[in-house]
Structure 1
Amino acid sequence: MSTASVSLRPATVSDAPLLASIHAASWQATYRGLLPDAFLDSEVTRERAAYWLNRMNAPGAERRIVLIAERDGEAIGFVCVERQIDTPWGVLLDNLHALPAHQGIGAGKLLMRAAQDWARAQGAVQLYLYVLEGNTPAIRFYERQGWEFSGAEPDQMGGIDITALRYIYRLDRAAAT
């Protein structure tokens, strides 16, 4: 399906509840079986609401961009990209979410392309992201887009120990399209 019906707009502080809602819904659909049901069924909505309220009001907004994907006026996903201080990995693609009912229409690719374009404009040569080990659909999506596995790190999520897989994307090998 064409991405022609999907448009992007910058998120504002007032979009924090919307971002939290999409983020929680994405985790509830994607992380079932990877994170505790109790976290996904009750805590994740509150936790993501607090996270996005803090994040959108935090200093350093000039180092990040948050874009919302919309289709026919409905928010269906978002991306958050941030220049990190003192990291060898480049610009962090911190969040990329498309609501399950809207996956496969190209919104994820459009959001990722916007993230890559923004990172290039910041002078970056590489992006990196973390994906939860076991999140096979996301791993396949990233690998199809040219991301390469570059390591694993222990982390915590939903009150349990997890493994976060780091992927990198070299901007210099892929011209903006």
Structure 2
Amino acid sequence: MPTLTLREATPDDLPFMLSLAPRLTATAPAWRNQAEMTASYRGLFTQALHEPEEGSAVLIAQNPQGQPVGFTLLYWHPKERGAFIKDLAVSEEAEGLGVGRFLLQSIEEWAKARGAVEIMLKASWYNTRARRIYERAGFQEDHVALVRRLD
């Protein structure tokens, strides 16, 4: 694994984060509108970078050349003493190089520093690769989310 570094995101990271939005929606079920889902990330990421929720963080993984190769958007829930991974994405070029593992380790350190007792995330049922990575990192299935669209 190449030497990776971690830094807090800045508003200048918005184009990079948006470039990975299609990777976040690629495994959505067929009944979802992927283009609409992908477009919705513009507002979410803009808010996370310009008007972050209290306790939230956007962390960027960088390669040895200082180029961003992945990111995570995190929320802190103090009452539950839990961290929530809203999004985690790795660039296609960096896939398989340990960036996801690096981000998960960084998330664990971030959560522990706040006194977290657990880290939670949601992953598409159809994203089997990500689910395997999360399972290898010690995550276990807990809840099942069922969705009914109201169009």
Q: So what's the TM-score if we normalise by structure 2?
A: 0.83
Does residue 151 of the first structure (1) align with residue 136 of the second (2)? no
Is the 8 Å Cα contact of residues 57 and 74 (structure 2) preserved in structure 1?
yes
In the other structure, the counterpart of 1:25 is: 22
Residue 130 of structure 1, CA deviation: 0.7
Does residue 111 of the first structure (1) align with residue 103 of the second (2)? yes
Does residue 69 of the first structure (1) align with residue 61 of the second (2)? yes
Does residue 126 of the first structure (1) align with residue 118 of the second (2)? yes
Does residue 54 of the first structure (1) align with residue 47 of the second (2)? yes
Counterpart CA distance in 1 for 2:85 and 2:61 is: 16
Residue 51 of structure 1, CA deviation: 1.9
Is the 8 Å Cα contact of residues 17 and 49 (structure 1) preserved in structure 2?
no
Counterpart CA distance in 2 for 1:14 and 1:43 is: 23
Counterpart CA distance in 2 for 1:56 and 1:35 is: 30
Residue 154 of structure 1, CA deviation: 2.1
SS in 2 for 1:66: strand
User: What letter corresponds to residue 69 of structure 1 in structure 2?
Assistant: A
Is the 8 Å Cα contact of residues 89 and 127 (structure 1) preserved in structure 2?
no
Residues 28-77 of structure 1: CA deviation (Å, up to 9, x unaligned): 5x416x2458x33x43443211221123233534x022111122232221
- Go from structure 1 to structure 2 and tell me whether the alpha carbon gap of 1:105 and 1:52 turns closer, same or farther (over 3 Å shift): same
Is the 8 Å Cα contact of residues 8 and 59 (structure 2) preserved in structure 1?
yes
User: What letter corresponds to residue 72 of structure 2 in structure 1?
Assistant: V
Residue 108 of structure 1, CA deviation: 0.6
Residue 134 of structure 1, CA deviation: 1.7
User: What letter corresponds to residue 27 of structure 1 in structure 2?
Assistant: L
Is the 8 Å Cα contact of residues 3 and 110 (structure 1) preserved in structure 2?
no
Counterpart CA distance in 2 for 1:134 and 1:46 is: 20
Counterpart CA distance in 1 for 2:98 and 2:5 is: 11
How many residue pairs end up in the alignment?
149
The alignment yields a C-alpha RMSD, in angstroms, of 2.4
In the other structure, the counterpart of 1:140 is: 132
Is the 8 Å Cα contact of residues 79 and 95 (structure 1) preserved in structure 2?
yes
SS in 2 for 1:149: coil
- Go from structure 1 to structure 2 and tell me whether the alpha carbon gap of 1:36 and 1:101 turns closer, same or farther (over 3 Å shift): farther
Question: Higher strand fraction: Structure 1 or Structure 2?
Answer: 1
